[in-house]
Amino acid sequence: MPDAALPQLVLSPTNSPSKSTVVEPDKIICPICEDLVDEELLQTFSKGLKMDVARQAKFCRLHKKKSAEQIWEAKGYPNIEWSELKGRIERHHDHIKSLIAGKASETHFGSLLMEKIKSGQNRTLLKTDDYLSPGYYGLRGMSLMTETIVEMFSALLRKRAPQDKLISARGYSGFVQAVLVPELAVMLIQEDMSLSAEKARGVMQDSRAVGE
Ligand SMILES: [Zn+2]
């Protein structure tokens, strides 16, 4: 929030503080996040009335959700069947087990973590960057993946940690978050969209913003 005064909606394109030079005619700038938003969406929401900050914040959430849905559709991301996700994760049991048993260092996210460990980056604390969001599976997917992996493998993870620096460097939950969850998410995205691992990693990266 810029200052104590209520931020005013910028309805006229001419006095736009936006970084873009031209505001499209039927767009306005969201007073909260300064994204360009359909004016019609705002008019429908505000019913032409002036909005206080709470209303503006609500509007901001609404337009973000709407644009996420549009992106979701346009990009061809699948509908997530949440009730089936746990079962799908469990079907990757053997593969995840092999990662914990030593194959993790050969994976994409395993090597990334290994490089960070070797370079001595943030030895103990995980940065937010390290919590690799599983793309359109979002936080909800991340929780379920983490939970299910820990349920299946906490004993094995504890056993392997003293033998494997990759697992022990940030504690085994750090390893789960930084390696196993993103590797699993890539496999799920591959299944969803019939993609190569590399393409699925791209989708995972691109779709971070739209996940629940
Ligand atoms: Zn906004």
Q: Which of 37, 59, 75 is the last residue of a domain?
A: 75
Q: Rounded to the nearest whole angstrom, what is the distance from the C-alpha of residue 185 to the centroid of ligand 1?
A: 28
Domain boundary pick from 22, 44, 75? 75
Instruction: Compute the distance from residue 63 Cα to the ligand 1 centre, in Å.
Output: 6
- ipTM of the complex model: 0.99
Q: Where in the sequence is the domain holding 38, given as residue range(s)?
A: 13-75
In a domain, 90, yes or no: yes
CA of 200 to the centre of ligand 1 (A): 29
- Whole-number Å distance, alpha carbon 127 to ligand 1 midpoint, is 26
Q: How many domains does the chain have?
A: 2
Are 55 and 134 found together in one domain?
A: no
- Do 29 and 89 share a domain, yes or no? no
- CA–centroid distance, residue 71 to ligand 1 (Å): 16
* One domain, residues 69 and 104: no
Residue at 148 is within a domain:
yes
Residues 145 and 169 in one domain: yes
8 falls within a domain: no
The rounded distance, in Å, linking the Cα atoms of 181 and 141 is 9
pLDDT in tens, the chain (212 residues): 444 444 444 444 444 444 444 567 889 999 999 999 999 999 999 998 999 999 999 999 999 999 889 989 999 999 999 999 999 999 999 999 999 999 999 999 999 999 988 887 655 555 555 457 899 999 999 999 999 999 999 999 999 999 999 999 989 999 999 999 999 999 999 999 999 999 999 999 989 888 87
The protein residues having their C-beta less than 5 angstroms from ligand 1 (an ion) are 30, 32-33, 60
For 178-209, b where at least 16 C-beta lie within 10 A, e where not — what string? Answer: bbbbbbbbbbbbbebeeeeeeebbebbeebee
Closest by CA position to 178, among listed 133, 119, 211, 140? 133
d(CA 102, CA 127): 24
Judgement on whether residues 69 and 53 belong to the same structural domain of the protein: yes
Strand residues in 10-157 grouped as ranges (E): 27-29, 36-38
The single residue listed with the structure tokens 């503080």 is 17
CA 92 to chain centre: 21
CA of 56 to the centre of ligand 1 (A): 8
Q: How far apart are CA 82 and CA 78, in angstroms?
A: 12
- For residue 33, the CA-to-ligand 1 centroid distance in Å is 4
96 touches 152 (CB < 8 A)? yes
Say yes or no: 129 and 94 in one domain.
yes
